[in-house]
Structure 1
């Protein structure tokens, strides 16, 4: 797999996903970290906070000798991730499972939609 898209949002599950991705992928692969900020997020300075998270995750991959890019988008996360992955010919999408514990038999909303709609292979990390 040459091009890998990894969802990042700064949560512990997201960090775990980055670590697993870094362990599994070939160092010659190109990794793109993606964060999608929904319109529902009204937090001040969200873009600055997300940039710091992205920089930290990117440095993690760089220390392992993995080429990494960063993407911040606004909109519906699953839709943006699927469209971005298709438009940029990614081979694999890696996301954290953020399921609601009350619905423990289901995937989280974004990961479930990406699994169902992406044209690429999708890996969901629990």
Structure 2
């Protein structure tokens, strides 16, 4: 069965780069479209910097958290453009996306919404504010339990 729509969760770690390269190999054979997805983890802050505030019965993200997310997103936009430019000569369609939230949930939702046939992801990734994986393999395990498509784990 040829894979037509391949998702690569990408956090700039060595294994996510390897996963992208493996996805490119498969995409060249099958003329697949690749989706490169970076998920910015929600930023946990002390209660007095709470990430959610309410004004006039409207819930909004606090300015501090919004600023941090925007800075991380701006940095990742540049990185994702580099990824597209680096692999553009491979003659493979690459779409990049950046989302904010819990990585496993976002990956699962993205997979379902975009009819992904195959997910290619590293077994572990970066830790930290914008890191995709909080602990060894936790996101991979959660994704594997929730998706119906094929999953290729790169080590």
Q: Which residue of 1 aligns with 2:59?
A: none
Structure 1 window deviating more from structure 2 (29-38 vs 45-54): it is 45-54
Is the 1:27–1:66 Cα contact (8 Å) retained in structure 2?
Answer: no
Per the TM alignment, residue 75 of structure 1 is displaced from its structure 2 partner at its CA by: 0.5
Question: How many residue pairs end up in the alignment?
Answer: 121
Conserved 8 A contact 1:36-1:77: yes
Matches within 5 A, 1:1-126: 1-25=3-27, 26=29, 28-40=31-43, 45-98=71-124, 108-126=137-155
Secondary structure of 1:69's partner?
A: strand
* Contact 1:86/1:120 (8 A) holds in 2: no
RMSD: 2.2
Q: Which TM-score applies when normalising by structure 2?
A: 0.70
In the TM superposition, structure 1's runs of 4+ consecutive aligned residues that sit over 6 Å from their partners are none
TM-score, normalised on structure 1?
A: 0.85
Of structures 1 and 2, the larger Rg is shown by 2
Deviation of 1:48 after TM superposition, in Å, equals: 1.5
CA shift for structure 1 position 40 = 2.4
- Residues 40, 69 of structure 2: 8 Å contact kept: no
Q: Are the aligned partners of 1:27 and 1:65 in contact in 2 as well (CA < 8 Å)?
A: no
